[in-house]
Amino acid sequence: MPMKVLFCTREFPPYVYGGAGVHVEYLAGELAKLMDVEVRSFGDQDFQSGGLKVKGFPYDVSEFDHADDKLKAVFKTLNTCLNINTEPVEADVVHCHTWYAQFAGILAKLCYGIPLVITTHSLEPLRPWKREQLGRGYDTSSWIEKTAIEMADAIIAVSKETREDVKQFFDVDESKIEVIYNGIDLEQYVKTDDSSALDTYGIDPSKPIVLFVGRITRQKGIIHLVNAIKHLDHDVQVVLCAGAPDTEEIAREMEDKVNAIKKQRDGLIWIDKMLDKTDVIQLYSHADVFCCPSIYEPFGIINIEAMACETAVVASAVGGIKEVVVHEETGLLIPLEQQQTAPFEPVDPEKFSKDLADGINRLIRDEDLRASMAKRGRMRVEETFDWKAIAQQVKALYQSLIQES
Q: How far apart are the first and last CA of the chain?
A: 16
Indicate if 196-384 has the same CATH topology as 4-183+386-404: yes
So what's the pLDDT on residue 359? 98
Q: How, if at all, do strands 52-57 and 177-179 pair?
A: unpaired
Higher pLDDT: 344 or 346? It is 346
Q: Is the pLDDT of residue 172 over 80?
A: yes
Give the percent of the chain with pLDDT over 70: 100
What pLDDT is recorded for position 98? Answer: 95
Q: Is 360 exposed, middle or buried (0-12, 13-18, 19+ CB in 10 A)?
A: buried
Name the pLDDT band for 230 (thresholds 50, 70, 90): very high
pLDDT value of residue 17: 87
Q: 267: left (phi > 0), else alpha (psi -120 to 50), else beta?
A: left
Task: Please tell me the predicted confidence (pLDDT) of residue 103.
Answer: 98
pLDDT reading at 300 higher than 90: yes
The arithmetic mean of pLDDT across residues 17-25, rounded, is 93
Q: Are 291 and 220 in contact (CB under 8 A)?
A: no
pLDDT of 342 over the 90 cut: no
Give the whole-angstrom CA distance, residue 171 versus residue 214. 32
Q: What is the pLDDT of residue 33?
A: 97
| Pick among 3.30.70.260, 3.90.79.10, 3.40.1390.10, 3.40.50.2000: CATH of 4-183+386-404 | 3.40.50.2000
How confident is the model over 260-269, as a mean pLDDT? Answer: 94
The average pLDDT across 52-64 equals 95
pLDDT score at 335 = 97
Residue 121: is its pLDDT beyond 90?
Answer: yes
Burial degree of 49 (CB within 10 A; 0-12, 13-18, 19+): exposed
pLDDT surpassing 80 at residue 124: yes
Q: Is the pLDDT of residue 244 over 90?
A: no
Q: What is residue 163's predicted lDDT score, i.e. its pLDDT?
A: 97
pLDDT surpasses 80 at 234: yes
Q: What pLDDT sits at residue 227?
A: 96
Q: What is the pLDDT of residue 2?
A: 84
Asked whether residue 1 carries a pLDDT value surpassing 80, the answer given is no
Class for domain 196-384, per CATH? alpha beta
Residue 396: the pLDDT is 98
Mean pLDDT, residues 358-385 taken together: 98
The pLDDT value recorded for residue 340 is 81
Q: Are 311 and 284 in contact (CB under 8 A)?
A: yes
C-alpha closest to that of 143 among 89, 72, 77: 77
What pLDDT score does 261 carry? 95
Per-residue model confidence as pLDDT tens digits over 134-164: 999 999 999 999 999 999 999 999 999 999 9
* Residue 276: how many other CB atoms lie within 10 Å: 9
Q: What's the gap between Cα 106 and its chain centre?
A: 23
- What is residue 105's predicted lDDT score, i.e. its pLDDT? 98
For residue range 326-339, what is the model confidence (pLDDT) as tens digits? Answer: 999 999 999 999 98
Residue 255 has pLDDT above 80, yes or no: yes
Residue 384: the pLDDT is 96
**pLDDT on residue 395:** 98
What is the reported pLDDT for 175?
A: 97
Mean pLDDT throughout 365-376? 98
Domain boundaries, the chain: 4-183+386-404, 196-384
Distance CA 394, CA 263 (A): 50
pTM score above 0.75: yes
In the predicted model, is pLDDT for residue 61 greater than 80? yes
**237 strand-pairing partners:** 209
